[in-house]
Amino acid sequence: MADSGDSYCFACGEKNPIGLHLTFNFDGDKLTVEKNLPREYEGYKGAAHGGIVSTLLDESMCKFINVKYNEQAVTGRLEIRYKYPTPTEQPLKISAWQESQRRNIITMKSAIETSDGTITAEATAKFAVVSLS
């Protein structure tokens, strides 16, 4: 997979000691990551903090673009629907896929799912492909 070059990224950086350390799988149409969030990421007992949920959704969509196009992208607009509390200390599957593209603007979707198939949160976002050099 393409590497964004930032090994200290909070979401996916392997060198960040307090990061999420996400590792992604990509099949060409969908990017997925499996994660079991520890209690350190709780907002209240048994439920992940909304900011962590947002990070999981946003990062998976951005990483999709990085991997598929070998490009860097920044979030221009992010809309999240929190449907149920996202549990900590349970297996989660985060998925991201592309909806459309118009020039350098890519519209993405993502979702977090529990092992029983419950979608706890979903997002739609617009990303701008940019050069960060």
pLDDT at 32: 98
CATH code that applies to domain 25-130:
3.10.129.10
pLDDT at 3: 43
Read off the pLDDT of each residue in 17-45 and give the average, rounded to a whole number: 94
pTM to 2 decimal places: 0.91
Separation between Cα atoms, residue 20 and residue 71, nearest integer Å: 22
pLDDT at 12: 87
| Alpha helices by DSSP H, the chain | 50-69
Domain boundaries, the chain: 25-130
Neighbours of 99 (CB within 10 A): 11
Beta strands in the chain (DSSP E): 25-26, 30-36, 42-44, 47-48, 72-82, 91-102, 105-114, 119-130
Separation between Cα atoms, residue 33 and residue 93, nearest integer Å: 6
